[in-house]
Every structure is written in structure tokens, then in C-alpha cells.
Amino acid sequence: MKTNGERIGNVAKQNNVRLRPHIKTHKCIEVARIQTAGHDGAITVSTLAEAKAFSKHGFSDITYAVPIERGKFEEAIEILRSGVKLNLLTDDAATVKDLDEASGKAGVNFNVFLKIDCGTHRVGVEPHTAAAIDIPRQISDAANLNFAGILTHAGHSYDVRSVEAVKEVARHERDCMVELAERLRDASIEVPIVSIGSTPTINHVDHLKGVDEVRPGNYIFFDAFQATLGSCSFDDTALTVLAAVIHRDTQRQKIVVDAGAIALSKDRGPVSIDPGCGYGHVLDLDGNETGMRVTSLSQEHGEIQAADDAALARFPVGSRVRILANHSCLTAAQHSHYNVLENMEIVDRWDIHRGW
């Protein structure tokens, strides 16, 4: 984990961009401190509950990277008033109008990004639409809002099947944002920050000229998905779930562990690249691959097909395995805390701040 944090920290430094790590992956104060060591402590969150939890531990520059809606104005204002620079984002003109009014009534000013859709087609406005110019102007002109810049997330970098395809997504993510910033500046709209980033694209982008800020999150732990996609090696992965063998069936050549759909999450993983990925790689206690995968999940049971009789013989009822899950963000969110390993010994316990 520390090595992953340092490596991406260096990528940001070398490219002269601010790293604003997305803490939704781990939801953990201690991990965020490692990610922001030597930085200004700016972070990205996915819920206002995360913003509150982290603000109580000294993080005071926080971007809530999910489009704001009016039901959350009151809570956002409360966080802003507690002394946090809380940056919001939107892609909706009606919400800008309402947020301006609510901010005026509360006597506060929000920094607001325009969320851009650079190809993921999840949320955001597309860069070549009228809204991509009109909403920034509307935010800039609003009495109680500051236009913070433009922000995107190339989520479709998770859906491709090769490193070359990730590189193409990364180039496009950067280029479409830098071009939009130029058009906004040509239209006399100041663009303080161009913010991009996902773990696959930050690992593979060729340069970051014109970009001010990157927001990867998953890189701190990585997972079976990212290793399969080529964003990291399997040795770089840093999060596993400890599980106990509760059943062994020599006839069906399988074991069952006490980590099921809740402990691992039911993320299906990189099925387009690795159809047999199942729900995670089964490692021994030293972190070595056993060649087995978690093949099916129910609430508190994980079924594991054994590679051969020898694999089965290693794991009687009561023995332990470690599961490298498909998607570390979803797996971590299922737990209340991490057991921190150093040289394979548990040296600390760190809390996970969940909820909404």
C-alpha cells in the first residue's frame, strides 16, 4: 500500500499536477494520510458522510465528486460552515440556480465544478454541447457560487480489454478536457482547475499538459480487476479478506469459506477479459496464489473449486485462506476496519468510515 501511494504520488509530482486522491476506495483516515503525505491534504469523496468523517480528522479541502442535488444542500452548507472548503459538482442548470439561492440565503459561497462526460455516459454534460459553455457561464455569473473548473472521470477505462485501449481512453480523457478548457477561456470564462482521473488512466496516460489535478482512488490497494486489466501486477495488490474453511468436499473437489457475498461483495470482476474470474483469487496465508478462485457466493458462504486433490488437501476445515477480491472499493466498504499487516504480522487496526 505504501509503495502504491508513493508511486502514484511521484507520477503526479513528475507531471506537475495536484493529486487529490479519491478516498471512497478505503474510507480510512490513516490511508488518506499516507496518500497525502507531503501534499496539501486535498481529497475527493463519494458521499457527504465521508466529507464529514474526514473533516473531523483535519482534511479541509474536499471535493464531493457526485453531482449535488437539492436534498443535500443543507448538509453541504453545514460542512462548509464547519471550516471545510467543500467543492461541489453539477451538470444541471436548475440545480445551479437553486444552489445559488440556497447559498445566498445561508450567506455562503460554494466552489462548483461542471461535471463533464468524456465518454463514460454515466453523468455529466458532453464537451461539445451548448451546456458545456452555458452552465460554466451560469455558475460564474451566480452571486453566491464560484466556478471551480471542469471535472471528469473516465469510468469507461474499466470496461476495455487491453492496456492499449486504456491508453486511448486516457489520451481522450485529457484531450477533450484541455480542449474544452480552451474553448471556455476563449469565451472569457476563467477555468481555475481541469480535473481528471481514474486509476487505469493515471497509470497509462502519456502526459498531463493542461491538466491541473488527478483523482485516482483504487491505486492505493489495487485489486484482481486492476491486475487483470494491467494497471498493476498481482504483487502490487494490497487488500485481502481473511477467511476460514468451514466445509471440504472431496467428492465435488471443493471447499467452502466463511467469506460470502457480504464479506467480498458480489462484484463480478473483469469477466470480459477473464471469464473464469469468479469472485476473487484464493491466496494462502503468505499471500501466494493457490490457483483457485471463489466460484460462487451466498450471504455468508464462499464456494471455491479446488484446482486438484493436492490443493484440497492443504485446506481442511478450520484452516485459513486470504481472498484477493475483484473490486477492492466494494469489498472494503463491507467492513468496519482493516487489520494492518507489516511483514505478515498484524500491527494496527484502522477504522473504515461507512454510510451516507
List residues near a copy of itself by CB under 8 A: 24, 46-47, 66-72, 91-92, 94-95, 98, 121-124, 155, 244-249, 252, 256, 258, 261-263, 265-268, 298-301, 303, 316-318, 320, 329-330, 333, 335-336, 354-356
Closest approach of a copy of itself to the CB of residue 162, in Å: 21
Closer residue to a copy of itself, CB minimum distance, 71 or 107: 71
Task: State the DSSP string of 114-151.
Answer: EEE-SS--SSSB-TTSTHHHHHHHHHHH-TTEEEEEEE
Judge contact between 147 and 112, C-beta under 8 A: yes
DSSP secondary structure letter of residue 159 = S
344, with CB counted inside 10 A (0-12, 13-18, 19+), is exposed
The residues with which 282 forms a beta bridge, in sequence order, are 292, 323
Q: Which is nearer to a copy of itself, 72 or 293 (CB)?
A: 72
Nearest CB to a copy of itself, comparing residues 17 and 265 = 265
| DSSP letter assigned to residue 155 | G
Name the residue nearer to a copy of itself (CB basis): 6 or 75.
75
Measured from the CB of residue 80, what is the shortest distance to a copy of itself in angstroms? 19
User: Distance (Å, rounded) from C-alpha 95 to C-alpha 270?
Assistant: 36
Instruction: Give 213 or 267: the residue with its C-beta nearer to a copy of itself.
Output: 267
Q: How far is the CB of 10 from a copy of itself (least distance, A)?
A: 26
Beta-bridge partners for 64 = 45
Closest CA to 85 of 61, 66, 104: 61
CB 295 within 8 A of CB 304: yes
Strand partners of residue 112: 88, 147
The nearest distance, CB 210 to a copy of itself, in angstroms, is 26
In terms of CB distance, is 122 or 185 closer to a copy of itself?
Answer: 122
Q: Which is nearer to a copy of itself, 17 or 142 (CB)?
A: 142
Find out whether 265 and 257 touch, Cβ atoms under 8 Å: no
The CB-of-77 to a copy of itself minimum distance in angstroms stands at 15
CB closer to a copy of itself, 66 vs 178: 66
**Exposure class string for 4-18: b at 16+ Cβ within 10 A, else e:** bbeebbebbeeeebb
Give Cβ neighbours of residue 54 (< 8 Å, ≥ 6 apart).
23, 29, 32, 43, 45, 62, 353
Compute the least distance from the CB of residue 349 to a copy of itself, in Å. Answer: 13
As measured in angstroms, the least distance from the Cβ of 25 to a copy of itself is 9
Kindly state the smallest distance separating residue 256's Cβ from a copy of itself, in Å: 5
